[in-house]
């Protein structure tokens, strides 16, 4: 019974967070100058600190869709759930939720970031940065002039993934927008081509 109560309380908290998270994402997208472009937001990610919460959320999300990946990345399980009914942020219909199991303590639990796909086929960080500069030439100057925006470059990869997918994350406070060239479904499809 405790698991059901925990699951219910946390999912209620997620539902309450969604409007403010959505608005913060839209505001940050506008500040980054990405709102005027046709982009695909392919998934939204959660952060939790407790293993039992992650396990309960996995059960919950499986009632809302289907697990399409349960890969281990950086030593921890990360689940991707394809939703039966997409979540919405502005014009974006988001078809997948990413649920990483905890590996460290986060200051804030709940919705943490979205991942956006930009046009291009970048397989290296240099290519992704060049594509992003072509896509939005003012972004580099904006980020350089605003010390509240943090940038992180990474190339996370599951052990079965064959499609390189470098990522640039823009973060301010508790809101993060990650940009890459390959959608989560394309990355997962690369596993099948092993």
The model's pLDDT over 103-153, given as tens digits with 9 standing for 90+, comes to 888 777 899 999 999 878 888 889 998 888 888 888 888 878 888 999 998
The tally of CA atoms less than 13 A away on the side-chain side of residue 122 is: 24
Alpha-carbon distance of 98 to 76, in angstroms, equals: 13
C-alpha span between 122 and 194 (Å, rounded) = 20
Integer Cα distance of 90 and 29 in angstroms? 11
In the predicted model, is pLDDT for residue 28 greater than 90? yes
User: CATH number, domain at 59?
Assistant: 3.10.180.10
Domain that holds residue 167: 2-192
- pLDDT, mean of residues 60-65: 94
The token pair at 50 is 């407790």
Better-scored residue on pLDDT, 191 or 96: 96
At residue 155 the predicted structure's pLDDT band, cuts being 50, 70 and 90, is: confident
Is the pLDDT at 45 greater than 50? The verdict is yes
Mean pLDDT for all residues in the chain: 85
Please give the biggest Cα pair distance in the chain.
Answer: 54
Number of domains the chain is built from: 1
* Phi (first) and psi of residue 57, to 5 degrees: -65, -35
Asked if residue 1 has pLDDT above 50, the reply is: no
Burial 3-31 (b: 16+ CB within 10 A, else e): eeebbeebbeebeebbeebbebbbebbeb
pLDDT value of residue 7: 57
The number of angstroms, rounded, from the C-alpha of 160 to the middle of its chain's C-alpha atoms is: 20
Strands 92-100 and 167-172, by their bridges, are unpaired
φ and ψ at residue 6, rounded to 5 degrees: -65, -45
């Amino acid at each position: 019974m405790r698991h059901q109560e925990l699951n219910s309380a946390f999912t209620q908290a997620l539902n309450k967070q969604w409007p403010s998270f959505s608005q913060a994402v839209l505001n940050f997208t506008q500040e980054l100058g990405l709102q005027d472009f046709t982009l695909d937001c392919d998934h939204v990610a959660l952060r939790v600190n407790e293993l039992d919460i992650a396990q309960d959320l996995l059960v919950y999300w499986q009632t809302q869709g289907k697990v399409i990946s349960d890969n281990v990345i950086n030593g921890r399980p990360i689940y991707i759930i394809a939703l039966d009914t997409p979540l919405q942020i502005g014009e974006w219909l988001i078809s997948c939720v990413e649920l990483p199991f905890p590996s460290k303590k986060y200051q804030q639990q709940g919705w943490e970031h979205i991942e956006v796909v930009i046009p291009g086929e970048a397989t290296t960080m240099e290519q992704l940065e060049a594509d992003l500069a072509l896509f939005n030439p003012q972004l580099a100057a904006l980020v350089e002039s605003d010390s509240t925006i943090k940038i992180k470059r990474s190339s996370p990869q599951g052990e079965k993934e064959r499609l390189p997918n470098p990522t640039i994350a823009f973060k301010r406070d508790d809101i993060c927008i990650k940009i890459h060239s390959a959608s989560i479904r394309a990355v997962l499809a690369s596993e099948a081509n092993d």
